[in-house]
Structure 1
Amino acid sequence: MGDPDRWPGRTAGPPAALPARAGVGRGDLRRHRPGRLAQRRRRSALAALGPERTVRAEPGHVPAPAPRAGKEERMKFAKAHGLGNDFILVERGSCPAEAAPWARRLCDRHEGVGGDGVLVYLVQDGRVHMRLINADGSDAEISGNGVRCLAAWAVSRGLVPPRHVVQTVPGPRPVAVEAVGGARYRVATDLGPAILASRDIPVRLDPPRDRVVDHPLEAGGETVRITATSLGNPHCAVFVDAPPDDARLARLGAALESHSFFPRKTNVEFVSVPSRREIRVRFWERGVGYTRASGTGSASAAVAAIVKGLADRNLRVVCDGGVLEVEWPEGGHVHQVGEVEVLFEGEWLADTSR
């Protein structure tokens, strides 16, 4: 994992100014509305994989909650965000067997807590086990911002030390958490190796290739060239001269997300490169839609820029929500540093079955 004190971001200057159009809920961007959650009818992109079971506790590992006298036990939750990419944190014992409708209700921004996803966690043997359920109810392998949010919250509650491991579907992700004031934390994460081979991302290429760079695809009524990578979840980078407006982001992002080239669907990054030490990225996330930031998306965009020879191996990624620092040493793991904020904790009172 290396020494987090030597990871990127320790001496970074102030964040670059964001463009005037950067923000949430602008133009045609998809939002969560009551009864109209984004893509709620689509089949889970990962339903056939079931990888989250590899880190799920066996029956009996999570004791049943003790009921209150005369009252049904209420589900406790916490809310945190990384640069505006927000999550609801719920202990695994409160997650129902039919998790998709439950997660959709919690993520609803009008009739729920509101979030880009639910992080179902279990703290066991000094590790934090994480399952990510997207806002549309589909399971996903990992979220870089989610890892950092969960790590910071677990440290804030004294459940684990500042240096610990978050166990995700793709594998263990070591973290180092540093309090920076109030409920804000700076978290360094080892995101593991960058995956570049077409079979492993995966994408549909015959014959397979060691790298997928500037591959042409027809999507959203235009031809775009994509560079595909993975950090345990699939990503597709489209390099553009300037950040796309909201309408193009929504149109092309949705078309690429569900393109047949990606058997597990994909996350989409629109990347512009103002300098070799900084890239500007806007995101369309699989199972969510537009997000203000993405942890693995930022790291994957950086990897794609490095693979294309456009950026140095230590750089800043400017998102709509703020800045993340990414480093990818030659032959090494991808490291990322960024802030998160723990917002509040609460109890859910309503029925989640509808």
Structure 2
Amino acid sequence: MSRPFVKMNGAGNDFVVVNALDRPFTPTTEQVRALGDRKTGEGFDQLISIEPSETGDAFMRVWNSDGAMVENCGNALRCVGWMLLEAGSGERVAIDTLGGMTTASRAGDHRVTVDMGKPRLDWSEIPLSEEMDTRNIELQVGPIDAPLLHTPGAVSMGNPHVVFFVDQTPDDAFVRGSGSLVEHHPLFPEGVNVGFAHVLAPDHIRLRVWERGAGLTRACGTGACAALVVCARRGLTGRSARIDVDGGELHIRWDEATDHVFMTGPVEIERTGTLPF
């Protein structure tokens, strides 16, 4: 039996979204991979299923294009939040994920703010394979005496992130080479999303992300949140910044009163279609 879907993106990070509120959606790993293939399938960074929730307005399930189920996706939360807001009458919805509960609220025409919750800063919460200060973790890429990258920060935004600081925005080859190397480093037992942050001003960051299980992506919402938190903890930025990603811009604020991270950004509907199962 076929399933309708909506193709959406948030700042270029693209998704196939399936409504599973009334009928379960349980694709196999092979089916997710086939659908995610940009040459032979629908093509996406993540496949999203909107499911019933006992504690929120809906539960959002996320698969990366490699077929692996993951905890969360910030840009997808905005897209799912927008769909739920359009279907209801309120200004705020609660969305449960494997990474925890979040809320989404309107921030203008096709713009949504998501409360991403508190960043998880302890080494065991990310998780790392050994205890260390997550402001400056002991990791480098390249020769020991002249590393290309070194001493990144780490944080979990419901999924694990490591963020390196760079003096200029890296090209695709550098992001692919370094990102794929670090993604499966033994320091990260669950794998890790790899960010490359070029701080342009105390309230402005240029970010590129190698996404765990998806590769080079045009935007990563949790990655943008992670970059702001890591940069602020190092004193490189304040607690609020514009994050320029390949697909557009996101606005991230780490609220001092609540310790929650809020992400605001665009939502776009690309097309609709039907899955062949």
**2:78 paired with 1:153:** no
Structure 1 residue corresponding to 2:222, chosen from 292, 296, 321: 296
Q: Alignment partner of 1:119: what SS? A: strand
- Matched with 2:193 is 267
Partner deviation per Cα, 1:218-258 (whole Å, 9 max, x = no partner): 44664522111111100000000011111111100000111
Q: For 2:151, what is the secondary structure of its paired residue?
A: strand
Kept in 1, the 8 Å contact 2:53–2:96? The answer is no
1:193 aligns with 2:121: no
Q: 2:260 aligns with which of 319, 333, 344?
A: 333
CA distance in structure 1 between the aligned counterparts of 2:31 and 2:85, rounded to whole angstroms: 26
**1:86-105 deviation digits (Å, cap 9, x = unpaired):** 00011333523x52111112
Alignment coverage as a number of residue pairs: 269
C-alpha contact (below 8 Å) 1:220/1:255 kept by paired residues: no
Q: Secondary structure at the match of 1:347?
A: strand
State the partner residue of 2:11. Answer: 83
Q: Does the CA contact (< 8 Å) of 1:154 and 1:160 recur in 2?
A: no
8 Å Cα contact 1:120/1:131 also seen in 2: yes
CA change 1:268–1:78 in 2 (3 A) is same
Q: Once superposed, what is the RMSD of the aligned Cα atoms?
A: 1.8
Q: Which residue of 2 aligns with 1:202?
A: 127
Structure 1, gaps ≥5 residues long: 1-72
After superposition, where does 1:1-354 map in structure 2 within 5 Å? Answer: 73-92=1-20, 93=23, 95-96=25-26, 99-124=28-53, 127-156=57-86, 158-159=87-88, 161-178=90-107, 180=109, 185-205=110-130, 208-209=131-132, 211-219=133-141, 222=147, 224-330=150-256, 332-348=259-275, 350=276
Contact kept in structure 1, 2:199 and 2:236, CA below 8 Å: yes
Match of 1:337, SS state, is strand
Name the SS for the 1:109 alignment partner.
Answer: coil
Q: Given residue 68 of structure 2, which amino acid in structure 1 is its aligned partner? A: S
Indicate conservation of the 8 Å contact 2:232/2:239, yes or no.
yes
Q: State the one-letter code of the partner of 2:66.
A: D
Check whether the contact 1:153–1:342 (CA below 8 A) recurs between aligned residues.
no
Q: How far is the alpha carbon of 1:149 from its aligned partner? A: 1.0
Alpha-carbon distance in structure 2 between the residues aligned to 1:327 and 1:178:
14
Q: Is the 8 A contact 1:83 1:292 kept in 2?
A: yes
CA shift for structure 1 position 261: 0.4
Q: How far apart are residue 216 of structure 1 and its match?
A: 3.1
| Cα distance in 1 for residues equivalent to 2:107 and 2:67 | 32
Which whole-Å CA distance do the structure 2 matches of 1:274 and 1:142 have between them? 28
* TM-score normalised per structure 1: 0.72
C-alpha distance in 2, partners of 1:119/1:329?
Answer: 28
**What TM-score results when the alignment is normalised by the length of structure 2?**
0.91
Report the CA distance shift for 1:257/1:220 in structure 2 as closer, same or farther (over 3 A).
farther
Structure-2 residue corresponding to 1:40: none
Distance (Å, rounded) in 2 between the aligned partners of 1:104 and 1:278:
35
Q: Secondary structure at the match of 2:127?
A: coil
SS in 1 for 2:137: strand
How many Å separate the matches in 2 of 1:267 and 1:226? 12
Q: Could you list the per-position Cα deviations for residues 298-333 of structure 1 after superposition, in whole angstroms to 9, with x for gaps in the alignment? A: 010000000000001111111111111111122520
Structure 2 letter corresponding to 1:336:
M
**After superposition, what is the alpha-carbon deviation per residue over 1:328-352, rounded to whole angstroms, capped at 9, x for unaligned?**
122520111111112222222x4x6
Equivalent pair of 2:33/2:66 in contact (CA under 8 Å): yes
Identity %: 34
